[in-house]
C-alpha cells in the first residue's frame, strides 16, 4: 500500500474514544463517488452502486444527494435502509425464497415509492412473486458459477421472461455479475470480459428477435467496472447499461491492487478502523486491538495496512489481537497509542461494527448505528 499521510485520518480527540472503532470520512466518500462518476463520463445513470459496503443510511443519502437514483443491495436490511432514505430504485441482487421473499413483499407494500426489483434464474421462482409490487431481473451466470441461469441452459431465458410477464410481473432486465474478471493485468481483464459481453449481447439480441425488449443490463462489480465501461456496445445499446461496484465507496487495499492509482484510479480510503496499541511483546512487534472481530480476515493476511506506516506489516490476527511487525530499529509506539487501519476487504469489515464514527476535518461529528449491518431477525414480530 502506498504511504497515506496520517494527518489525513487522525482525529483530535482519539484518546476519548474506545477502540476498536470504525471511522467514516464523508469527504472521502464524496471524493470516491466523483472518481467513479468521472469514469462514467459524469453520467449518474450508468452506476447502480452496491450498498453492501457502506451499510450507513447517511452514506446512502450522500449518494442520493450526488444525483444517484438507482441502487443494488444483498440483504433485506440493506433494502429496508434504502427504502427508508428514499431511494427511488433498489435491486435486491441476491435470490431469496420463503420467509425472505415474504419480507421483500412486505417492504414493497410498505414503501411503494421505492421501485423494488428482485432476481430469479428459473420459472420455479416466479410463483412466490405473483401479485407482488416488484420488478424482475433475470440473473445470468457469466461463468463465475456462483448463481444465475447456467451457461448450458441459456435457451431457457426467453421462456422465463415470458413466464414473468404472464405472471403479471415487470421484466426489468438482465443481471450479469462478473466478479471473476479480476485479473491483475488490465488488458487481459478487458479482453476476457469483452469476450463475455459478446455472449451477453447475443442473449439480448436473441430476446429482441423474439419481440422482447431488455430495458436494463447490470454488470460489473469493482474490479470489472472499468472494462465494462470500455465495452463500446454497451454505450451504444438500446438498453440502459449500468455498472454496480460497491467497494469503491469506501475503498480498501485489495481495490488498490485491482484499480491502481497509477492508472488514474484516485480513490481514497473512506472507512478505517482505529485500533489501540495494547502490547509490545518484542523489540520489533506491537499488538493492537484490531483482530479479526474488528478487521475482516476473509481476504487473508495481512488483513489491513497501517496509515502512515507503509513499512509496518500486520501479521495473522486472532479474535481481538492484531500483531504488527516493525522494521528493526524503528521506535515502537506507546501503549494506548491509536493506529488507523485500512482493511484489505472493507465490506465485511464494516459489517463487524455496530456503530460508525463520522469524521469531518479531524473531528468526530457524530455516531451512527449501522442500520444495514447483519440480517433481519429470523422470526417476524
Alpha-carbon gap, residue 6 to 259, rounded angstroms? 22
Are residue 92 and residue 55 in the same domain, yes or no?
yes
Q: What is the pLDDT along the chain (381 residues), one digit of tens a residue?
A: 667 889 999 999 999 999 999 999 999 999 999 999 999 999 999 999 999 999 999 999 999 999 999 999 999 999 999 999 999 999 999 999 999 999 999 999 999 999 999 999 999 999 999 999 999 999 999 999 999 999 888 899 999 999 999 999 999 999 999 999 999 999 999 999 999 999 999 999 999 999 999 999 999 999 999 999 999 999 999 999 999 999 999 999 999 999 999 999 999 999 999 999 999 999 999 999 999 999 999 999 999 999 999 999 999 999 999 999 999 999 999 999 999 999 999 999 999 999 999 999 999 999 999 999 999 999 876
Closest CA to 299 of 182, 190, 213: 182
Please state, in angstroms and rounded to a whole number, the distance separating the CA atoms of residues 147 and 306: 36
Instruction: Give 339's DSSP letter.
Output: E
For residue 153, the model assigns a pLDDT of 87
Q: How many Å apart are CA 96 and CA 80, to the nearest integer?
A: 15
* Cβ within 8 Å of residue 42, ≥6 positions away: none
CATH number of the domain bearing residue 340: 2.40.37.20
Same domain assignment for residues 300 and 350: yes
Q: How many domains is the chain built from?
A: 2
Do 149 and 229 belong together in one domain?
A: yes
Same domain, 60 and 150: yes
Q: Is residue 1 part of a domain?
A: no
18 and 102 share a domain? no
Residue 36 inside a domain? The answer is no
pLDDT tens profile 250-269: 999 999 999 999 999 999 99
Burial class of 104 by CB neighbour count within 10 A (0 to 12, 13 to 18, 19+): buried
Look at residue 76 in the predicted model and tell me its pLDDT.
98
Same domain as 297, residue 203: no
Angle formed by the axes of helices 57-65 and 76-84, to 10°? 50
Report pLDDT for 223. 97
181, 214, 244 - which closes a domain? 244
Q: Tens digits of per-residue pLDDT, 1-24?
A: 667 889 999 999 999 999 999 999
| C-alpha cell belonging to residue 191 | 479482453
Q: Which of 177, 212, 244 is the last residue of a domain?
A: 244
> Given this model, what pLDDT does residue 206 score?
95
Domain membership flag for residue 130? yes
End of a domain among 244, 275, 294?
Answer: 244
CA pair distance 151, 95, nearest whole angstrom: 18
For residue 269, being part of any structural domain is answered with yes
275 and 329 co-located in one domain: yes
Does one domain contain both 100 and 237? yes
Are residues 11 and 110 both part of a single domain? no
Whether residue 250 lies inside any domain: the answer is: no
What confidence tens digit (pLDDT) does each residue in 60-106 have? Answer: 999 999 999 999 999 999 999 999 999 999 999 999 999 999 999 99
Q: Are residues 184 and 65 in the same domain?
A: yes
Q: Are 145 and 151 in contact, with CB atoms under 8 Å apart?
A: no
Indicate whether 79 and 108 sit together in one domain. yes
Task: Select from 93, 76, 74 the least CA-distant residue to 242.
Answer: 93
For residues 339 and 274, is the Cβ–Cβ distance under 8 A?
Answer: yes
Q: In this structure, is residue 259 part of a structural domain?
A: no
Secondary structure letter of residue 149 according to DSSP: B
Please indicate, yes or no, whether residues 309 and 222 belong to a single structural domain of this protein: no
CATH number at residue 73: 3.20.20.10
The model's pTM is 0.96
Strand partners, 235: none
135 exposure class (CB count in 10 Å sphere: 0-12, 13-18, 19+): buried
Q: Find the domain containing 286 and state its range.
A: 6-23+265-369
321 domain-assigned: yes
For residue 232, tell me if it sits in a domain.
Answer: yes
In sequence order, the 6+-apart residues with CB closer than 8 A to the CB of 285 are 315, 323, 324, 325, 326
Question: What sections of the chain are H helices per DSSP?
Answer: 26-39, 57-65, 76-84, 98-110, 157-166, 186-209, 225-229, 232-235, 253-258, 346-351
Average pLDDT of the chain? 97
Amino acid at each position: 500500500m502506498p504511504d497515506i499521510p496520517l494527518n489525513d485520518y487522525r482525529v483530535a480527540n482519539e484518546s476519548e474514544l474506545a477502540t476498536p472503532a470504525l471511522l467514516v470520512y464523508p469527504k472521502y466518500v464524496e471524493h470516491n463517488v466523483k472518481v467513479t462518476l468521472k469514469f462514467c463520463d459524469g453520467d449518474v445513470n450508468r452506476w447502480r452502486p452496491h450498498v453492501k459496503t457502506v451499510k450507513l443510511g447517511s452514506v446512502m443519502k450522500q449518494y442520493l444527494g450526488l444525483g444517484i437514483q438507482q441502487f443494488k443491495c444483498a440483504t433485506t436490511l440493506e433494502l429496508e435502509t434504502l427504502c427508508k432514505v428514499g431511494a427511488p430504485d433498489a435491486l435486491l441482487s441476491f435470490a431469496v425464497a420463503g420467509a425472505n421473499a415474504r419480507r421483500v413483499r412486505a417492504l414493497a407494500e410498505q414503501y411503494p415509492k421505492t421501485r423494488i426489483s428482485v432476481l430469479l434464474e428459473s420459472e420455479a421462482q416466479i410463483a412466490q412473486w405473483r401479485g407482488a409490487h416488484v420488478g424482475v431481473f433475470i440473473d445470468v451466470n457469466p461463468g463465475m458459477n456462483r448463481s444465475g441461469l447456467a451457461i448450458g441452459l441459456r435457451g431457457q431465458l426467453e421462456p422465463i421472461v415470458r413466464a414473468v410477464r404472464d405472471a403479471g410481473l415487470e421484466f426489468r432486465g438482465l443481471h450479469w455479475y462478473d466478479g471473476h474478471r479480476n485479473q491483475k493485468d488490465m488488458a487481459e481483464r478487458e479482453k476476457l470480459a469483452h469476450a463475455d459481453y459478446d455472449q451477453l449481447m447475443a442473449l439480448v439480441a436473441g430476446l429482441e428477435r423474439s419481440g422482447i425488449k431488455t430495458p436494463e443490463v447490470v454488470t460489473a462489480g469493482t474490479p470489472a467496472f472499468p472494462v465494462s465501461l470500455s465495452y463500446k456496445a454497451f454505450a451504444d445499446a438500446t438498453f440502459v447499461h449500468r455498472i454496480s461496484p460497491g467497494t469503491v465507496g469506501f475503498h480498501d487495499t485489495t481495490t488498490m491492487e485491482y484499480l491502481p492509482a497509477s492508472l488514474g484510479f484516485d480513490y481514497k480510503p473512506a472507512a478505517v478502523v482505529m485500533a489501540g496499541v495494547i502490547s509490545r511483546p518484542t523489540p520489533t512487534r506491537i499488538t493492537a486491538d484490531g483482530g479479526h472481530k474488528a478487521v475482516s480476515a476473509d481476504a487473508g493476511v495481512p488483513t489491513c495496512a497501517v496509515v502512515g506506516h507503509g513499512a509496518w506489516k500486520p501479521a495473522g490476527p486472532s479474535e481481538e489481537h492484531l500483531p504488527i511487525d516493525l522494521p528493526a530499529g524503528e521506535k515502537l509506539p506507546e501503549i494506548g497509542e491509536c493506529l488507523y487501519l485500512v482493511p484489505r476487504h472493507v465490506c465485511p469489515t464494516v459489517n463487524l461494527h455496530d456503530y460508525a464514527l463520522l469524521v469531518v476535518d479531524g473531528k468526530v461529528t457524530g455516531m451512527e448505528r449501522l442500520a444495514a449491518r447483519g440480517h433481519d431477525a429470523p422470526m417476524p414480530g
